[in-house]
């Protein structure tokens, strides 16, 4: 008995010392990140307002369960380990007293049953994980495997360790039954089965097995503890923390403002010597950014949904996080060194790691390749999927900010767009006077706000650059205006006083140009006294609704599909003329995933007589990007298949007459891909890409009772 106590305690002290050292090191490393005081506000507000969401995410495994089979396996394992904490207490108790039972509940058959039930559940989960890993073997499936790039050997080691935890548990409990010291007389069905198998060995052998497997159980659990803190399984401890400090409701919608030393950066007062401009080195990340890196489970869910990865580009959101994490860990000796002398004394490899540029090509051994950085469309699929709430877009756009503002290093073809935004207020450089042209093509007058908005005007219609200046998007704009006019909605536009919201500049990383445009727009809007805005472009919608509040612009903003769906539901718009078309709807990322507007466009289509709508496989939360977001609209797509082509091929498989969407940029990207397919004979000549508003306008009988074709 004394020997087993000594061995058990020595193992425990040694494991906690090794694990504790690592945890202290991780804590110190997180401390080298930038401060992020806002994260404590987020955490406080989560605890106050959405504790339920937190609990659903962590204990309900909400995001994981979206992937039914692996999600269920993970939930079984997670809950198994929660319940099996009781068996660890029992094993420690048995070190000191063979007949130990947990005071109060330790002999209840239901507890014995639950412990065994979850031990078996963990084995079922393990088997499922093993099958998934074999079937998704990266060596066989290449880029199609979500595990490509993950540390698969470590994952197998952990699966083996979990198996040993359960195996040693059932062995010592089975032996305990045969030596008469097991605390549960009924309920522990799996332990009883193992006890039945061991029974023929006799009391003496079972007594030895009991002692050996109690120590083996504690040894495996303690080894598991050490492996966890040295591997990707850190997420077991870090995931609840990461979720607690994450943005809410998620890291979609708005981009965070640029912060330096824990404060929002003011460009007019910024000091180039002391302020941080975007993410230029690993220590420019906040401690929350470093926590994101350490929390990644390497599950590859983000990678499997990324349109850049799916079309053969070098960007994998998982790999970005892993590369940053590996670099942070490798640079840690340099970051944690107490003095310059200590840094100078570091091994050559550590010094070289410290000098690696965060973004750079293979020639300079950069951590993140520029082709990786600039492939991102900001579509949000990675953020949506991540079970531990990692904020990929913030990190990618943070690095873009440094590249644009400090290094002036970005795809050259986007330079014209930035210059046009600065000088002319729109990405094409067409200038303010052209913004009013579309109104001259209507047979009614659209009021332009001059000074204060009229009391009788309900909505300011934010037209957007594409809606005012791009030929295909202008058709949508006219359709929306016509429908609002038909429904008797009082609306007005800013006309030439409207400028780009700044979204393409911000998503490119040019926060300076974004601030300039956004401040100008907020000033204009505030001067008009407008309260309600309807926007046709999801990027404008997202920026005005979610980002302008950062600059003092607070309005009630809706997308045109939301307003039109409501007008149809209220009977103010009556779709009566049949539109006999088979169509499919493409979810714009900044309307759907970023802002959760999935139903209104579909509700409109349902009300148009004759329309037969079929969903593409990748729709709603799992919608596939058109390739235009993240300012990719203004960059060449030189690597892999074009994203818009991939999307159109999915649509063409449904043989539609029409592809509908609700975003001017999707309209252009999908329209271009359809034109290319028509050229190659893969799409019929009559196939069109139109906005939902255009389809509705074709069906709604206007005031003069003639059907319109917008």
Interacting residues toward ligand SF4 by CB under 6 A: 296-302, 305-308, 315, 317-318, 321, 376-382, 385-388, 390, 392-393
For residue 435, the minimal CB distance to ligand SF4 (Å) is: 30
For residue 672, the minimal CB distance to ligand SF4 (Å) is: 19
**Quick one: 321 or 619, whose CB is closer to ligand SF4?**
321
DSSP string, 449-516: --SSPPTT--EEEE--HHHHHSHHHHHHHHHHHHHHHHHT--EEB-GGG----SHHHHHHT-HHHHHH
**Quick one: 547 or 581, whose CB is closer to ligand SF4?**
547
**Quick one: 589 or 604, whose CB is closer to ligand SF4?**
589
| Burial of 212 (C-beta count, 10 Å sphere; 0-12/13-18/19+) | middle
Q: Using CA atoms in the order 606, 612, 618, 622, what is the torsion angle rounded to 10 degrees?
A: 0
**Quick one: 54 or 305, whose CB is closer to ligand SF4?**
305
**Quick one: 497 or 663, whose CB is closer to ligand SF4?**
663
For residue 325, the minimal CB distance to ligand SF4 (Å) is: 10
**Quick one: 353 or 391, whose CB is closer to ligand SF4?**
391
**Quick one: 541 or 624, whose CB is closer to ligand SF4?**
624
For residue 388, the minimal CB distance to ligand SF4 (Å) is: 5
Which is it for strands 263-264 and 612-613: parallel, antiparallel or unpaired?
unpaired
**Quick one: 151 or 424, whose CB is closer to ligand SF4?**
151
Which is it for strands 459-462 and 532-535: parallel, antiparallel or unpaired?
parallel
For residue 18, the minimal CB distance to ligand SF4 (Å) is: 25
For residue 659, the minimal CB distance to ligand SF4 (Å) is: 21
CA 415 – CA 314 distance, rounded (Å): 23
Q: What is the number of other CB atoms lying within 10 angstroms of the CB of residue 373?
A: 24
**Quick one: 388 or 534, whose CB is closer to ligand SF4?**
388
> How is residue 128 written in tokens?
């499922």
Helix (H, G, I), strand (E, B) or coil at 331: helix
CA 539 – CA 590 distance, rounded (Å): 6
Q: How many CA atoms lie within 13 A of 395 on its CB side?
A: 31
For residue 390, the minimal CB distance to ligand SF4 (Å) is: 4
**Quick one: 26 or 94, whose CB is closer to ligand SF4?**
26
For residue 199, the minimal CB distance to ligand SF4 (Å) is: 45
Judge contact between 74 and 125, C-beta under 8 A. yes
For residue 694, the minimal CB distance to ligand SF4 (Å) is: 27
Within 337-391, residue ranges assigned H as helices are 340-344, 348-355, 370-373, 381-385
Q: Which of 169, 16, 186 is nearest to 84 (CA)?
A: 169
Q: Which of 121, 376, 306, 91 is nearest to 211 (CA)?
A: 91
**Quick one: 149 or 333, whose CB is closer to ligand SF4?**
149
For residue 255, the minimal CB distance to ligand SF4 (Å) is: 12
For residue 389, the minimal CB distance to ligand SF4 (Å) is: 8
**Quick one: 299 or 633, whose CB is closer to ligand SF4?**
299
For residue 296, the minimal CB distance to ligand SF4 (Å) is: 3
For residue 381, the minimal CB distance to ligand SF4 (Å) is: 4
**Quick one: 306 or 481, whose CB is closer to ligand SF4?**
306
CA 532 – CA 460 distance, rounded (Å): 6
284: which residues sit within 8 A by CB, 6+ positions away? 34, 276, 278, 358, 398, 402
**Quick one: 381 or 505, whose CB is closer to ligand SF4?**
381
- Phi/psi for 574 (5° steps) reads -120, 105
Within 184-316, residue ranges assigned H as helices are 189-198, 202-229, 235-244, 287-295, 301-305, 307-310
661 forms bridges with which residues in the sheet? 691
Judge contact between 476 and 537, C-beta under 8 A. no
Judge contact between 120 and 190, C-beta under 8 A. yes
For residue 548, the minimal CB distance to ligand SF4 (Å) is: 22
Q: Which of 507, 343, 200 is nearest to 209 (CA)?
A: 200
Taken in order 482, 488, 494, 495, the sign of the CA dihedral is positive
CA 400 – CA 417 distance, rounded (Å): 16
């Amino acid at each position: 008995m004394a020997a087993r106590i000594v061995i058990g305690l020595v193992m425990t002290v040694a494991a906690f010392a090794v694990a504790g050292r690592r945890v202290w090191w991780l804590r110190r490393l997180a401390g080298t990140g930038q401060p992020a005081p806002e994260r404590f506000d987020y955490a406080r507000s989560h605890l106050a307002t959405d504790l339920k969401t937190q609990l659903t995410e962590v204990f309900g495994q909400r995001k994981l369960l979206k992937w039914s089979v692996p999600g269920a396996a993970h939930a079984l394992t997670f809950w198994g380990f929660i319940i099996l904490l009781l068996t660890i207490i029992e094993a420690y108790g048995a070190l000191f007293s063979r007949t130990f039972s947990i005071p109060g509940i330790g002999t209840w058959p239901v507890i014995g049953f639950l412990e065994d039930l979850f031990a078996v559940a963990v084995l079922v989960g393990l088997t499922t994980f093993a099958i998934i890993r074999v079937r998704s073997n990266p060596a066989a499936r290449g880029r199609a495997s979500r595990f490509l790039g993950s540390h698969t050997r470590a994952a197998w080691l952990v699966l083996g360790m979990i198996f040993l935890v359960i195996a040693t548990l059932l062995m010592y409990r089975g032996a305990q039954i045969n030596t008469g010291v097991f605390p549960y007389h009924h309920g522990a069905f799996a332990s009883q089965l193992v006890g039945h198998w061991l029974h023929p060995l006799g009391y003496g052998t079972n007594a030895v097995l009991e002692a050996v497997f109690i120590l083996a159980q504690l040894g495996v659990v303690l080894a598991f503890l050490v492996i966890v803190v040295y591997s990707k399984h850190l997420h077991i401890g870090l995931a609840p923390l990461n979720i607690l400090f994450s943005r809410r409701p998620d890291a979609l919608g708005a981009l965070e403002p640029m912060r330096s030393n824990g404060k929002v950066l003011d460009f007019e007062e910024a000091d180039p010597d002391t302020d941080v401009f975007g993410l230029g080195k690993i220590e420019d990340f906040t401690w929350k950014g470093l926590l994101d890196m350490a929390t990644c489970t390497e599950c590859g869910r983000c990678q499997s949904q990324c349109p850049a990865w799916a079309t053969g580009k070098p960007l994998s959101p998982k790999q970005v996080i892993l590369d940053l994490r590996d670099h942070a860990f490798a640079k840690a000796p340099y970051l944690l060194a107490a003095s310059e002398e200590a840094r100078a004394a570091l091994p050559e490899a550590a010094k070289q790691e410290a000098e690696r540029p965060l973004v750079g090509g293979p020639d300079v051994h950069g951590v993140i390749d520029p082709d990786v950085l600039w492939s991102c469309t900001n579509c949000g699929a990675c953020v949506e999927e991540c079970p531990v709430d990692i904020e990929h877009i913030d990190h990618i756009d943070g690095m873009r900010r440094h590249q644009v503002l400090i290094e002036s290093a970005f795809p050259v073809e986007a330079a014209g767009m930035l210059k046009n935004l600065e000088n002319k207020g729109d990405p094409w450089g067409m200038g303010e006077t052209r913004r009013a042209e579309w109104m001259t093509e209507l047979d009614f007058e659209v009021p332009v706000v001059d000074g204060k908005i009229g009391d009788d005007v309900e909505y300011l219609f934010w037209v957007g650059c594409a809606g005012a200046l791009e030929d295909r998007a202008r058709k949508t704009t006219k359709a929306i205006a016509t429908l609002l006019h038909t429904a008797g909605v009082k609306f007005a536009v800013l006309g030439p006083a409207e400028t780009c919201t700044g979204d393409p500049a911000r998503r490119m990383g040019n926060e300076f140009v974004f601030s300039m445009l956004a401040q100008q727009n907020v000033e204009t809007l505030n001067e008009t006294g407008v309260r309600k805005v309807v926007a046709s472009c999801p990027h404008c919608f997202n920026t005005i609704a979610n980002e302008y509040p950062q600059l003092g612009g607070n309005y009630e903003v809706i997308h045109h599909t939301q307003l039109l769906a409501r007008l149809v539901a209220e009977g103010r718009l009556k779709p009566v003329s049949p539109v006999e078309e088979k169509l499919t709807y493409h979810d714009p990322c900044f309307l759907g995933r970023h802002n959760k507007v999935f139903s209104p466009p579909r509700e409109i289509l349902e009300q148009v007589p004759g329309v037969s709508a079929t969903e593409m496989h990748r729709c709603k939360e799992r919608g596939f990007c058109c390739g235009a977001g993240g300012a990719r609209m203004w960059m060449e797509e030189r690597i892999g298949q074009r994203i818009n082509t991939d999307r159109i091929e999915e649509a063409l498989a449904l043989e539609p007459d029409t592809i509908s969407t609700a975003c001017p940029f999707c309209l252009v990207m999908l329209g271009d891909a359809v034109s290319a397919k028509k050229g190659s004979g893969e799409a019929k000549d009559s196939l069109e890409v139109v906005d939902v508003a255009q389809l509705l306008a074709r069906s709604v009988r206007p005031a003069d009772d003639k059907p319109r074709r917008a």
